[in-house]
Each structure stands twice: as C-alpha cells, then as structure tokens.
C-alpha cells in the first residue's frame, strides 16, 4: 500500500510541474534555468508593517553602494526582492518595472531591486533586460544578510519574491511576500504608493 501512496505522491509532483512556463520572454532565449514549481513561501518574516525598516548598505550593479537611509525624508522606497538571476518569473518582472518609472516618480518613490546573486551575474542578467532605471543591488555577501534581516531568505539561500514599501519616515508600510511562482501585479504596488501621499 505504501508503494502506491508514494507513487501517487510522485505523480502529483510531476503533474504540478506541467504548467510552469512563466518565464516567457524570448529575450532570455534558452538561458533560463527551469526550477519547477517551488514552495510558495519558505521563510518567516522578521519585520511587520509599522516597524522601522532595518537599514542596510549594498553594492549596486552600476557601481557604488546604496544605503536605504539615504532616502529618508526624501523618497518612498519600494524594495523588490526576487529569488535569483536566470530563473523563471524573476526574469520577467523587472523589465516591466523598467517601463513605468513615471509611476514611481509620480508617487515620489524609488525602486530598489535586490537579489542574493553576485555583481557579475547580475550584470549579465540585467543586461538582457534592456536599460533598467533603478538600482539593482547584490545581497551576495555575507550571503543574503539583508534578506535575512527582513526575514525573506529562503532555506535554499535564495530570496523570496517580495515587495516591501517603506515611507519617507523609514517606516514599513506594505509587505507582500508573494507566491514565488507568480509575479505580483503592478497595480498592487501602485495602489499602495498612492495611499502614501507626500
């Protein structure tokens, strides 16, 4: 009987992977590593809405470093954690943000993209996306420290697909640790930004 149960379980796992082609763009051709369907979330948040966001400094692909607190009193900050370079969904997320800078500007916000990859990997990957207007930051070393501080580091060392919005006062106003297999809709970010005002 056990063998039947094990077999049926395997069957379910195999079938769940059938409809999983969410990295769509031909821009990446065959270079996207298919990870299959993953556990939707795999971490425990260490911050909550209303908390002061933990400060961090990370190196940017474009050079230099970006510190979260440099925006305090000046801009709202949207942080987009994505799991890893060259994986499905992630590769079709930031290119969309690349064409909506005005939606962030209009709401007096900046966007920071963060992954746990190193700079050379991020350089090659983001070059395939066209020109990104926002800083792409590497949380590679110490590995995933910033993701871990927020509680969005998964047990396999990748980050969650998460959106955090931090207001000008440095307070966390929105957290969406999204199903890693799905891309959050753009309107969910814009609606939250519009609530913040000045």
Partner 1 sequence: MKKFVQCVVVAVAVISSLYASAAQPPAAGELLPEMKLAVPVEREHRAYLGLSSGDSFEVQQVKADVVILEVMSMYCPFCQKEAPNLNELYRLIEGNPKLKGRIKLIGIGAGNSAYELKVFRERYQVPFPLAPDGDYHIHLSLGEVRTPYFIGVRIEKGGPRVFYSKLGGFEDAGAFLEEIFRLSGLKEKG
**CB proximity list for 106: less than 8 A, separation 6 or greater:** none
Closest-CA residue to 89 (of 35, 132, 130): 35
Map the footprint of partner 1 across residues 73-92, applying CB under 8 A: 92
**CB proximity list for 59: less than 8 A, separation 6 or greater:** 65, 119, 137, 138
Residue 103 is a binding residue for partner 1 (CB under 8 A):
yes
| Residue 140 DSSP class | T
Considering the complex, state which of residue 11 and residue 169 has its C-beta at the smaller distance from partner 1.
11
Binder to partner 1 among 130, 141, 143, 156 (CB under 8 A)? Answer: 130
**CA 8 – CA 3 distance, rounded (Å):** 9
Residue 186 is a binding residue for partner 1 (CB under 8 A):
yes
Considering the complex, state which of residue 24 and residue 49 has its C-beta at the smaller distance from partner 1.
24
Residue 19 is a binding residue for partner 1 (CB under 8 A):
yes
Binder to partner 1 among 87, 93, 138, 158 (CB under 8 A)? Answer: 93
Give the containing element (helix H, strand E) for 56.
Answer: none
Binder to partner 1 among 2, 26, 48, 50 (CB under 8 A)? Answer: 26
CA angle (166 as vertex; 116, 154 as ends), nearest 5: 30
Does 23 participate in catalysis according to the annotation? no
- List residues bridging with 161 in a β-sheet: 178
Shortest reach from residue 92's CB to partner 1, in Å: 4
CA angle (110 as vertex; 131, 137 as ends), nearest 5: 60
Considering the complex, state which of residue 30 and residue 64 has its C-beta at the smaller distance from partner 1.
30
Residue 128 is a binding residue for partner 1 (CB under 8 A):
yes
Residue 27 is a binding residue for partner 1 (CB under 8 A):
yes
Binder to partner 1 among 34, 99, 106, 171 (CB under 8 A)? Answer: 99
- List residues bridging with 166 in a β-sheet: 77, 172
**CA 97 – CA 135 distance, rounded (Å):** 12
**CA 81 – CA 160 distance, rounded (Å):** 6
| Candidate list 23, 77, 90, 172, residue with the active-site label | 90
Where do contacts with partner 1 occur on this chain (CB under 8 A)?
3-4, 7, 11, 14-15, 18-19, 21-22, 24-27, 92-93, 95-96, 98-100, 103, 128-130, 183, 185-187, 190
Active-site residue set: 90
């Amino acid at each position: 009987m056990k063998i039947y149960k094990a077999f049926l379980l395997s069957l379910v796992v195999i079938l769940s992977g059938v409809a999983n082609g969410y990295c769509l763009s031909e821009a990446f051709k065959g270079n996207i590593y298919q990870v299959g369907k993953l556990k939707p979330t795999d971490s425990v948040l260490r911050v909550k809405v209303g908390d002061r966001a933990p400060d961090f400094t990370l190196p940017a692909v474009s050079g230099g470093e970006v510190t979260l607190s440099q925006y305090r009193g000046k801009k709202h900050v949207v942080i987009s954690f994505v799991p890893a370079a060259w994986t499905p969904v992630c590769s079709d997320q930031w290119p969309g943000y690349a064409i909506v800078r005005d939606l962030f500007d209009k709401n007096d916000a900046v966007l920071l993209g963060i992954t746990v990859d190193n700079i050379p990997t991020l350089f090659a990957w983001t070059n395939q996306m066209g020109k990104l207007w926002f800083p792409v930051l590497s949380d590679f070393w110490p590995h995933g420290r910033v993701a871990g501080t927020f509680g969005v580091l998964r047990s396999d060392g990748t980050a969650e697909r998460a959106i955090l919005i931090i207001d000008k006062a440095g307070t966390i106003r929105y957290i969406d640790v999204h199903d890693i297999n799905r891309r959050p809709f753009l309107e969910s970010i814009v609606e939250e930004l519009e609530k913040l005002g000045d």
